Chains A and B, each alone.
Chain A
Amino acid sequence: MAATKLQANWTAVSLGTNSITRVTQVSFSQGGSLASYSADGDHYPTVVVNLMNKPRASVTSSDTATLMGIAPGTTAAFSATHKDAKGATGGDILYVMANAVAENVETSGAHAQFGSATMQLLAYSSDGTTNPLSFTRA
């Protein structure tokens, strides 16, 4: 079966040795930001440039115990596979965020609803040059 070139659902989500299951949401952000310059009589920026990128990720899971067990500051590679919509071989995209640092974990649950927890991660570059966010075909 050929790849659908559509992604649906996540698998093999982990932060280091912490396997995260019951995943309902994963997001990766390139974390780009812009700096604008203006001076003298300018009323609008005369230069807008991307000077800094701070790649981020977040994961939401119904396995609240696992996520809440991860302390802020925990550092490891965060990886997640975005599956092909029909499970076709070769259609999955694997993301790996090196040097991902757990920033915070929140858990919540409404009455008569399943509870969930969300963890935010911020990555650093060990050399200041290499993008910590990489991807490949799984």
Chain B
Amino acid sequence: MVRCEYRSSFLAVPRIPHSTFHITHSTFMKTPDALILPEAWKKGDTQLDRIDSILAIAEPLLNVDRSQGERAYIRRQPGGRLFVTPDPLDTLQFPVGDSREGKPRYNWVARPDGSEHGFLVEDARHA
């Protein structure tokens, strides 16, 4: 078993104090449901180039199949971070009014390269 510190995104997502999260090797084999990427990873002189440079990283990781009409959607977040998911309606936290309001919808796993991989928490797909 690989022990890895679990932390929420350092955007506006509340940090869970001193909590740790045991992640099995199979966790790393799973396809993430969301990504947080540094905005500095954008490359290119045109808007399309910069979008493409992020999609080239994100879509394979998210297992997006463009031939099936799927896309990865990019949102600029404060702090120079990009929140990328296959659904433009995805959110970082449970919505206002939900019983889990304000809590993260993803378990975030920090990667050595500065990105984070998000895995939907239980029942988050229906929120």
Residue of A nearest to B76 (CB): A131
Q: How far is the CA of A138 from the CA of B77 in the complex (A)?
A: 21
Is A50 an interface position by the 8 A CB rule? yes
- Whole-angstrom distance between the Cβ of A31 and the nearest chain B Cβ: 12
Q: How far is the CA of A88 from the CA of B93 in the complex (A)?
A: 37
Q: Is the CB of B91 within 8 A of A136?
A: no
Query: CB-CB contacts of B74-93 with A at 8 A, as 1s and 0s?
Result: 11111000010000111111
Interface of B is mostly: loop
Number of interface residues of B (CB under 8 A): 30
Number of interface residues of A (CB under 8 A): 27
Q: Is the CB of B76 within 8 A of A30?
A: yes
Pick from B51, B83, B96: contact of A126, CB under 8 Å:
B96
Q: Is the CB of A125 within 8 A of B91?
A: yes
Is B40 an interface position by the 8 A CB rule? no
Query: CB-CB contacts of B38-56 with A at 8 A, as 1s and 0s?
Result: 0000000011110110010
Residue of A nearest to B55 (CB): A137
Q: Is the CB of B93 within 8 A of A129?
A: yes
Is B73 an interface position by the 8 A CB rule? yes
Q: Is the CB of B92 within 8 A of A136?
A: no
- What are the residues of chain A within 8 A of B46 when measuring CB–CB? 5
Most buried by B among A125, A133, A136: A136
- Whole-angstrom distance between the Cβ of B67 and the nearest chain A Cβ: 13
Is A130 an interface position by the 8 A CB rule? yes
Is A70 an interface position by the 8 A CB rule? no
Within 90-127 of B, Cβ neighbours of A (below 8 Å) are at 90-96, 101-102
- What are the residues of chain B within 8 A of A77 when measuring CB–CB? 88-89
Is A9 an interface position by the 8 A CB rule? no
Is B57 an interface position by the 8 A CB rule? no
Q: Is the CB of B13 within 8 A of A129?
A: yes
Residue of A nearest to B72 (CB): A136
Query: CB-CB contacts of A36-55 with B at 8 A, as 1s and 0s?
Result: 00000000000000100100
Is A3 an interface position by the 8 A CB rule? yes
- Apart from A50-B78, A133-B75, 9 more pairs, CB < 8 Å: A5-B48, A93-B51, A94-B71, A129-B92, A130-B75, A130-B83, A132-B75, A137-B51, A137-B52
- Name the 7 nearest CB pairs between A and B, nearest first: A96-B88, A126-B95, A127-B93, A134-B73, A131-B75, A130-B91, A5-B46
